[in-house]
Structure 1
């Protein structure tokens, strides 16, 4: 019988900390992989102390990125402990590290060349700030550095604002997701060879590269037309109206992305047909007269509360929605119905709530099997599995 977990039987050794690497490993764990988190003896992952808030001795930060893992502790400076780690790596399919310098791993024979010599099928995934090639290779890097380096901070916020950080570690999450994609690609390439004879490979993902992909259409406008991105606040650079607008009681989002949607939108607001035809008929005209159009829209919207307009727009297939606070979306009935808030039993704190995995597969859904592990919780269990005494 085929397993309902597509990565069941795949062993991942997660020797990372903070967010990007643990997030990648958690995604693989959600898909059924046996993820073993390797932490420093005594202190563990630095994120365990990133708080408050804390749940007993564990930080909420750590709890959010480490479900579906087992944990062992290793002192790589101890020869016996290092030999134990090498024995574990001989059983692995994937090794994930976020050490910025691969040469420092050579001292402990944890570099790609050595590990793949003892385990040719191993996929070695290196996740770092700048990657392992290029003039900035091997520099240390955190999420905030990547946000600044890639130009995103310079164009986030309104025209009068200074550089602005996205409030959550978007570079880490993006780097973790690209690493997940790369690992799945490497597993498929390895295992599609006849008789499973394929070998592993080296995967190099950088936070800066990953964050740069968020430039997307703005980057394309510069590369192909020389148009430099600028701060526009909540406005879209090429679509109008596509932004927050003020209703009677609060702001709402409207996203009039096509000409057909515009035709329905302006009729609901009963805008003057002659004025629309002369100044707002096309998206190009609406961009040109953006300020005038937004003022007209808000004059109408201010006559009713936000819920009234959202109901009207949704009923006429016009994309619109509220501007929620994080607590509102985490308690929203749609969020809960989609399974995006999960609960797991935890031996120390009782119940841990996490944001769920958004990947919804009909035949091989993600699963939530293991609570975020306590430091060294599975030392004896894993030692027994690999025959280490």
Structure 2
């Protein structure tokens, strides 16, 4: 069965995480994605280890970081700083639908590989530029990284334990969330541009900034500020708009209680044998509970401490009250629900035999996700890509001799 995007060809000239994440989404959906990398070094994340995927000989293989965002792609090791490499890109662009890049503003213009130049070759090209701060504005020429953007956007100001508590202070999220969200917006943007192209016949340029994305993804916290004029503060694991919606210590660990409405709160109180709290005007409604959280949370904390996590989770699930344990990542992958959903994969790897992978969460009934290959070796598909582009063996050998391309095959 053909993938939903099996008719689409993507030139992925991005590195690190945001752009490659978008490219991987498109590749999972069936698009042909050509990953353009520097010869010899490749994507920076190839060196971002440990951990490393070991080879059968016990040698150091690919970095886990690189493997997470480059599945289902083909690798072309090409020096785009050379005139010959630039000509290869222009050749490929004639048959591509989408180009992803995350160079600094103006970084590709000096090579004649910017949008204005390439649209002259292919007016139908959808060209997505991912930068830290966008193509305009006073910070446009600055480099932007996820950690920096988490800080500047305000995300770190609402992440971490509240002031006055042990360990208080701003915290980044435990994964590069801004990069991931930007990759998702990028994939959405290029698919929207594809839909528009069906009507207009024309491609377009997408200007996507990490800072814009993270500000947009502040969601309710951004609106809390815009409506009230008060900047939200760190609250640990508590929620600014819902109570009780946080972590609690149990007899043997911790659990999450995520009460989303008044009926759930009443059912929790009945199970916890504190039904009187649900009848108290101070706690009957969510608005009242938010206003009086300082008195309510100690009462709930005291009762939740009397039972173990498994006891609470089992009992509250029977009462349709959202709750759950706080798993580490190993425990998460052992969870029967995650296993039933097939979220852990094992893919064939040309050097290491096989490589673990995390599945794409999209479950499409008509065009399901297919996993054709793990993240490629550096330059693994160089020769085939160039042959497909019309280069003959002599031309390819000349590019090798000039150091414009490189390739790597499994031993």
Measured at CA, do residues 91 and 274 of structure 1 come closer, stay the same or move farther in structure 2, by a change above 3 Å?
closer
- Tell me by how many angstroms 1:291 deviates: 3.0
Do residues 124 (structure 1) and 131 (structure 2) align? no
- Tell me by how many angstroms 1:275 deviates: 7.6
Structure 1 counterpart of 2:57: none
Do residues 169 (structure 1) and 164 (structure 2) align? no
What SS does structure 1 have at the residue aligned with 2:317? helix
| Per-residue deviation, residues 311-338 of structure 1 (Å, max 9, x unmatched) | 1111111111110011110222211211
Alignment counterpart, residue 10 of structure 1, candidates 8, 13, 32: 8
Structure 2 counterpart of 1:28: 26
- Tell me by how many angstroms 1:110 deviates: 0.5
Alignment counterpart, residue 62 of structure 1, candidates 47, 51, 66: 66
Do residues 135 (structure 1) and 138 (structure 2) align? yes
What SS does structure 2 have at the residue aligned with 1:141? coil
Structure 1 counterpart of 2:332: 329
- Tell me by how many angstroms 1:272 deviates: 4.8
In 2, distance between residues paired with 1:311 and 1:340? 24
Structure 2 counterpart of 1:52: 50
User: 1:245–1:294: 8 Å Cα contact kept in structure 2?
Assistant: no
Runs of 4 or more consecutive aligned structure 1 residues displaced over 6 Å after TM superposition: none
- Tell me by how many angstroms 1:354 deviates: 1.3
In 2, distance between residues paired with 1:18 and 1:58? 14
Normalising to structure 1: TM-score of the pair? Answer: 0.95
Structure 2 counterpart of 1:214: 217
Normalising to structure 2: TM-score of the pair? Answer: 0.90
What SS does structure 1 have at the residue aligned with 2:255? strand
What SS does structure 1 have at the residue aligned with 2:385? helix
In 1, distance between residues paired with 2:277 and 2:96? 69
Alignment counterpart, residue 117 of structure 2, candidates 114, 119, 134: 114
Structure 2 counterpart of 1:95: 99
In 2, distance between residues paired with 1:371 and 1:272? 54
Do residues 76 (structure 1) and 80 (structure 2) align? yes
In 1, distance between residues paired with 2:154 and 2:38? 35
User: 1:4–1:363: 8 Å Cα contact kept in structure 2?
Assistant: no
- Tell me by how many angstroms 1:372 deviates: 0.7
Gaps of 5+ in 2: 54-59, 393-411
User: 2:13–2:102: 8 Å Cα contact kept in structure 1?
Assistant: yes
User: 2:24–2:73: 8 Å Cα contact kept in structure 1?
Assistant: yes
Shifted more, 36-45 versus 25-34: the winner is: 36-45
User: 1:84–1:388: 8 Å Cα contact kept in structure 2?
Assistant: no
Shifted more, 15-24 versus 224-233: the winner is: 224-233
Measured at CA, do residues 287 and 69 of structure 1 come closer, stay the same or move farther in structure 2, by a change above 3 Å?
same
- How many residue pairs end up in the alignment? 382
User: 2:251–2:307: 8 Å Cα contact kept in structure 1?
Assistant: yes
RMSD: 1.4
User: 1:116–1:122: 8 Å Cα contact kept in structure 2?
Assistant: yes
Gaps of 5+ in 1: none
Structure 1 counterpart of 2:400: none
- Tell me by how many angstroms 1:77 deviates: 2.5
